Amino acid sequence: MSSKNSSTKTQFHPRNKHRGQYDFKRLVESFPDLATFVIKTPYGSTSIDFFNPAAVLVLNKALLKLHYNISFWEIPSNYLCPPIPGRADYIHHVADLLGKDSGEKITCLDLGVGASCVYPIIGVAEYNWSFIGSDIDKIALASSQKIIDNNPSLNDKVELRLQANPNQLLKGIIKPNEKIDLIVCNPPFHASAAEASAAAQKKSSNLKKQKVSKPVLNFGGQQHELWCKGGEFQFVKILIQESAQFAKNCSWFTTLISKKETLKHMLVELEKIGKSTVKIIELKTGNKISRVLCWRFLNKQ
């Protein structure tokens, strides 16, 4: 197995439309409802209250309208409202994995598409990729389907599939002779509801620079979006194990990983399943560093 680490990204990918500060003037012009939530910071700059879930939701709508031509974007109450700039960074970096082929006809599987359909939205707008979106949640899939149906640019580019077995990831989704260029995945990071709550409390306390006893999940999230049995460790381990069975179907497998310790273990898991090329991409947003673990199999024939 060969491994290549990229240098830490101190800023977003060069093609990421969210590299600079939010342009609230243009955002409000594109989506006037945002005006209600725009505030002046103590430093005199323009922003929103990122601890207000309603403000975050409307900001996302404005970003998707201005930058990705999405006129309808509604998600069910308490479902994950993803941070758009970070999701875009993931898409741009994994597009580089495809190299010269990234401009060709590409099929991407979004493993756990959720209720927001955010990766297909960005991938279609930026690269004209086609997407398969899978999920175990019928409500989430119905929400994503509504987004697809109400945005012409997505109509013929995204197909959704229900994962009927919650203990499987790729099995039951990828068809026997199907060819997929890329898999993207944002796994549930935590192993329990208590762990997810503790992480949210720590994050809120750090941001507000004071102890927060009852954090507000400003980005929301259902149980299966935030945690699963065994957390990201078990989730990614299963993904790696199943990926070996679909080596002939898929060119690149990728997944976000939030914990450095998990990454070490997953590199060992990849060693176990045979010859593969592995790359690690570091995404930096503010003080937070996430990692994208990418692998492909050699001698797939």
Please provide the DSSP assignment of 196-227 as one string: HHHHHHHHHHHHHTS--SS---TT---HHHHB
The yes-or-no verdict on residue 159 having pLDDT over 70 is yes
Q: 216 — phi, psi (to 5°)?
A: -95, 125
- How does pLDDT run across 59-85, given as a tens digit for each residue? 999 999 999 999 999 999 989 899 999
pLDDT, residue 258, reads: 87
**Mean pLDDT score, 247-273:** 94
The Cα–Cα gap between 244 and 132 comes to 20
Distances (CA, A) of 10 to 13, 23, 96, 186: 9, 21, 17, 21
pLDDT, residue 55, reads: 96
The yes-or-no verdict on residue 94 having pLDDT over 70 is yes
Q: Please give the single-letter amino acid code of residue 242.
A: E
Strands 180-185, 107-111: pairing kind: parallel
The Cα–Cα gap between 95 and 129 comes to 10
**Mean pLDDT score, 234-250:** 96
pLDDT, residue 265, reads: 94
Average pLDDT of the chain to the nearest whole number: 85
Residue 169 DSSP one-character state:
S
Q: Please give the single-letter amino acid code of residue 72.
A: F
The yes-or-no verdict on residue 99 having pLDDT over 60 is yes
Contacts of 110 (CB under 8 A, 6+ apart): 119, 120, 131, 132, 133, 134, 184, 185
The Cα–Cα gap between 195 and 92 comes to 30
The residue count of the chain comes to 301
The yes-or-no verdict on residue 231 having pLDDT over 80 is no
Confidence of residue 210 (pLDDT cuts 50, 70, 90): low
